[in-house]
Structure 1
Amino acid sequence: MVSNDERTYLGFDLSTQQLKAVVVNDKLQVLHQATVQFDSDLPEFRTHGGVVHDKIHPHVVTAPTLMWVKAIDMLMDRLTVSGVDYTKIAAISGAAQQHGSVYWQNGAENTLKSLNASEFLHQQLATSFSVTNSPVWMDSSTSKQCKELEDAVGGPEKLAEITGSRAYERFTGAQIAKIAQTKPDAYKATERISLVSSFLCSLFLGKIAPIDIVDGSGMNLMNIHTKKWDERLLDACGKNLLEKLGETVPSNTNLGNISNYFVERWDFNPDCQIIAFTGDNSASLIGMRLNEGWLAVSLGTSDTVFLWLKEPKLVLDGHIFCNPVNPDAFLALLCFKNGSLTRERIRNNCTEGSWDIFNQLLDSTPRGNFGNIGLYYDKQEIIPFLCGDYRFNKAGDKIIKFTSLEVEVRALIEGQFIAKRAFAEDIGFNLGKNTKILATGGASSNKSILQVIADVFNSPVYVLEEANTAMLGAAYQAKIGLLGKESTYEEVTSCLPPPKLACEPYQDAEDIYGAMVKRYRNIVAALTQ
């Protein structure tokens, strides 16, 4: 019998390009990690960036379902080589890319229940999928089905009110509807439909795992207030869809013992528990230890804002999900396409590629930028729906260029974060004296940019040492789910080092940026009329 302090926890993250795993000890310290890169480690599936782009239909993007299964076979080998003692693993959970869907062939559950420990998973599950290539989040071929979903409940506003988002091409509801319409035989032959998270969970559980409410709330099918599927939306997608989806469960639900396959093949303890897997965004919230009053800004190719909300407001261009930590709260997500690449473009134009000079220019310009405001969109932005560069002087006149490089640099950075504050407030986040900002991603190491964030939000900014927050969040979730009501989320994660304070706002920050947020709203309203 493994003592409590010897217990370890295994967390997975099945992202677009790779499958990762981490083993942590009872104090949540990392012991082992392993990775399988889809393109290079599984070249026989001929993916690029982990996906397959249809040559005839450019909006169709899928991933070979069996590739994910084979990645598990490889990853288990790599964990073994790294020295993992499977007998000490007390619980397993996982995260996966949101919005992908897996279609289990009739009879697949019987196959999962009777796996032969002497054979690889991918050999035994080769014929278990009625649709062999899973639609993923990059697919945008379902505009017709999106319109049908919105019409089923009375329009995009009503759909957003029920499900937390208007209809999006990548969301699973529209993807299921497309399969039902274009591949009716495959749909009819489908025993169950999983999200990528519950599919991965099923392999370890030895039977088809339920969808957790948080990942389920990203499908355009679930009522985020009742946590139940909406029958009108199910009927709009496909026949007998409720039977194919099954009932949802809270995201830290203990689903039971690990499959006997893993006990016999890898020497797992038969008492190892499987905790419901969830989506990568909700796992990131757990990994970042986001609580009420915190707002996280992930600074990458796209910038993403995570918000813990008590009462979300209806917006058509954000996403409201259920909260993996508190069933009475919500997780809001705002995605801004023009992130680091736009910052790099302005850096290259103004400083010939030097971040040091970029930061000097940014720091040498006063907060508020002499009243100048800039909006920069290399690609069609989602919020607001604009493309191109827009510059405005103190008088509010639209101008072609600013008077100096330092004004251009500060206009870019201030404009990006004024937008994030405006849309965060629109979706229901209340900035106050207890607000704290957590910065993650590539640009979170840039102190000059972090200072602008602190000033714009008039809140202190913190940074985390850890990367891979979705994978770590899955490992933390394993322990949280195992302990259940014995311990709270805060108690489980209290052993981790707290985020580090990076910078605090200047005292005059709100006087400057409160007014600039109002100006920004007026500018966007005029540009999007």
Structure 2
Amino acid sequence: MATSTDSFYLGFDFSTQQLKVVAVDGNLNVVHQDNVQFDSELPEFGTQGGVHIHADRLTVTSPVLMWVKALDLILGKMKNAGFDFSRVKALSGSGQQHGSVYWRKGTNQVLRDLHPGKTLHELLKGGFAVSDSPVWMDSSTTEQCQYLETAVGGAQRVADITGSRAYERFTGNQIAKIYKAKPEKYEDTERISLVSSFAASLFLGNYAAIDYSDGSGMNLMDIFSKQWADSCLEATAPHLEERLGAPVPSSAVLGLLSPYYVTRYGFPEDCKVVAFTGDNPGSLAGMRLQEGDIAVSLGTSDTVFLWIKEPRPTVEGHIFCNPVDCHSYMALICYKNGSLTRERIRNKCAGGSWEVFSSVLRSTPIGNDGNIGIYFDTMEITPSAVGVHRFDKENTKVAGFSAQGEIRALVEGQFLAKRVHAEKLGYKIKSFKSRGLPG
């Protein structure tokens, strides 16, 4: 229980469907939390799941002013609930990775001169050159990805520099699309932010730097020098470096909170704004992973987080700068065939019961008598493949296993794949400790 003199620390998460806030005291006790659901609480923006899916079914965007108005709303909720802003010593946060915000020329001065008598939404309604921000769900930039890989020297070369081959959702390719399709919008852009650095900018009252970790998900940053990669910038858009600003460590203190919040909400004048980062790097930090740890999120898609020291980028998976230790790295591997595939085998082989599924798994031998299965019900991400394949101990392809063998083949196959891909990216097994994340 916090006392009346404890300091508070705020964390904000600008995710796809909602804005969340949590306040903790110096002992990490949660003292306040709230959220704003975009669809239901800001219906005027007409989003579904926080986004607009365009007619081509590939382009996916979110209204940038929706995020601004959500911040007005959540701070208003906190004020109405009696939250004591005067005890907040510092704040930081995270944002959905890869999304980009395009600030109109002259808007930095608007940020510096925010009038506390008006809402952020009112003050910034004309502040963006692009009103609908591309987000991570967008897959419309295949042409730009192909161009980047060709210009830089191939998919592996892009991965060697930036930590990942060119991906449609990655920010650099979205910037390239905007430059080509809407050059006048690009020309009118003074600064390009990630969702994370955009959020930090709102609090800072100035354009906030992109942090190393979230900046690793752009196909633009050299993850080893931690500077923008000239070859990638040149293949994306002209005069891009000046629009991005210099990246900073994920733990950097960006400065003091804008006076706007001091006057309007009662924050202290010495409240610090710490760099915001992406939601995936934030998960690694929040799980308190250390070198050698693995976090596995088992959801519709499975995600593996790794802390590594000596990364080896490949065309499968991602290497980001580590948000906790800027001399280390994190690996992120995504698998599309996750819980839905496990549920299919559960229904087929365990009568739809997880209890039976688990009992069978415990009763069958490790190694499954040499039988192994590959279960890609839909086109997999890592690797790009589809189909179900089963092999016996002689490495002969077979049509099926017993129900018991099928269950263990599925689980062992999925986790062996995670180990293989993790080791390819530079993970070294010394002592094993896993931490599971609910999907």
User: TM exceeds 0.5?
Assistant: yes
Is 1:429 the counterpart of 2:400? The answer is no
Q: Distance in 2 between matches of 1:49 and 1:9?
A: 29
Match runs of 1:232-271 below 5 Å: 232-271=231-270
Is 1:177 the counterpart of 2:182? The answer is no
Residue equivalent to 2:52: 52
Is 1:438 the counterpart of 2:427? The answer is no
Displacement of 1:4 in angstroms is 12
Q: Distance in 2 between matches of 1:342 and 1:308?
A: 27
Displacement of 1:351 in angstroms is 2.7
Q: Distance in 2 between matches of 1:306 and 1:17?
A: 22
Residue equivalent to 1:6: 6
Q: Distance in 1 between matches of 2:353 and 2:260?
A: 54
Displacement of 1:441 in angstroms is 1.2
Residue equivalent to 1:141: 140
Displacement of 1:314 in angstroms is 2.9
Residue equivalent to 1:306: 305
User: In structure 2, do the counterparts of structure 1 residues 349 and 78 end up closer, same or farther at CA, with 3 Å as the change threshold?
Assistant: farther
User: What letter matches 1:429 in structure 2?
Assistant: Y
Match runs of 1:273-292 below 5 Å: 273-292=272-291
Higher mean alpha-carbon deviation, 58-67 vs 37-46, is at: 37-46
Gap regions ≥5 residues in structure 1: 443-529
Residue equivalent to 2:194: 195
For 2:320, what is the secondary structure of its paired residue? Answer: strand
Residue equivalent to 1:407: 405
Structure 1 contact 32–82 (Cα < 8 Å) conserved: no
Structure 2 contact 152–235 (Cα < 8 Å) conserved: no
Q: Distance in 2 between matches of 1:219 and 1:40?
A: 31
Q: Distance in 2 between matches of 1:271 and 1:284?
A: 28
Structure 2 contact 112–206 (Cα < 8 Å) conserved: yes
Residue equivalent to 1:208: 207
Q: Distance in 1 between matches of 2:117 and 2:343?
A: 51
Residue equivalent to 1:376: 375
Q: Calculate percent identity across the aligned residue pairs.
A: 55
Residue equivalent to 2:60: 61
Q: Distance in 2 between matches of 1:139 and 1:388?
A: 25
For 1:237, what is the secondary structure of its paired residue? Answer: coil
Q: Distance in 1 between matches of 2:387 and 2:305?
A: 26
Q: Distance in 2 between matches of 1:193 and 1:11?
A: 23
Deviation string 1:221-275 (CA, Å, 9 cap, x unpaired) is: 0111111001221122112111111111111111111011111111111110000
User: In structure 2, do the counterparts of structure 1 residues 392 and 289 end up closer, same or farther at CA, with 3 Å as the change threshold?
Assistant: same
Higher mean alpha-carbon deviation, 273-282 vs 364-373, is at: 364-373
Structure 2 contact 364–408 (Cα < 8 Å) conserved: yes
Displacement of 1:11 in angstroms is 0.3
Match runs of 1:9-48 below 5 Å: 9-48=9-48
For 1:140, what is the secondary structure of its paired residue? Answer: coil
Displacement of 1:286 in angstroms is 1.0
User: What letter matches 1:51 in structure 2?
Assistant: V
1:417 to 415, 418, 421: 415
- What is the alpha-carbon root mean square deviation over aligned residues? 1.4
Match runs of 1:66-81 below 5 Å: 66-81=65-80
Displacement of 1:82 in angstroms is 3.7
For 1:118, what is the secondary structure of its paired residue? Answer: coil
Displacement of 1:280 in angstroms is 0.9
Q: Distance in 1 between matches of 2:291 and 2:257?
A: 33
Structure 2 contact 292–307 (Cα < 8 Å) conserved: yes
Match runs of 1:363-512 below 5 Å: 363-402=362-401, 404-432=402-430, 434-442=431-439
For 1:22, what is the secondary structure of its paired residue? Answer: strand
Higher mean alpha-carbon deviation, 276-285 vs 361-370, is at: 361-370
Q: Distance in 1 between matches of 2:296 and 2:144?
A: 32
Residue equivalent to 1:322: 321
Structure 1 contact 4–26 (Cα < 8 Å) conserved: no
Residues matched between the structures, number: 437
Deviation string 1:85-132 (CA, Å, 9 cap, x unpaired) is: 100000000101100000001111111111121211111111111110
Q: Distance in 2 between matches of 1:328 and 1:291?
A: 13
Structure 1 contact 140–170 (Cα < 8 Å) conserved: yes
Structure 2 contact 250–326 (Cα < 8 Å) conserved: no
Q: Distance in 1 between matches of 2:361 and 2:224?
A: 44
User: What letter matches 1:113 in structure 2?
Assistant: R
Displacement of 1:5 in angstroms is 6.9
Structure 1 contact 5–26 (Cα < 8 Å) conserved: no
Displacement of 1:435 in angstroms is 3.0
Displacement of 1:83 in angstroms is 3.5
Displacement of 1:149 in angstroms is 1.3
For 1:210, what is the secondary structure of its paired residue? Answer: coil
Q: Distance in 1 between matches of 2:114 and 2:36?
A: 23
Is 1:355 the counterpart of 2:354? The answer is yes
Deviation string 1:133-180 (CA, Å, 9 cap, x unpaired) is: 000111111111111211222111111111111111100011000000
User: In structure 2, do the counterparts of structure 1 residues 330 and 4 end up closer, same or farther at CA, with 3 Å as the change threshold?
Assistant: farther
Gap regions ≥5 residues in structure 2: none
User: What letter matches 1:422 in structure 2?
Assistant: V
Displacement of 1:63 in angstroms is 0.7
For 2:27, what is the secondary structure of its paired residue? Answer: coil
Structure 2 contact 19–37 (Cα < 8 Å) conserved: yes
Residue equivalent to 1:501: none
Q: Which runs of 4+ in 1 moved over 6 A?
A: none
Deviation string 1:267-307 (CA, Å, 9 cap, x unpaired) is: 11111000011111111111000111211111111111111
Q: Distance in 2 between matches of 1:299 and 1:82?
A: 35
For 2:235, what is the secondary structure of its paired residue? Answer: helix
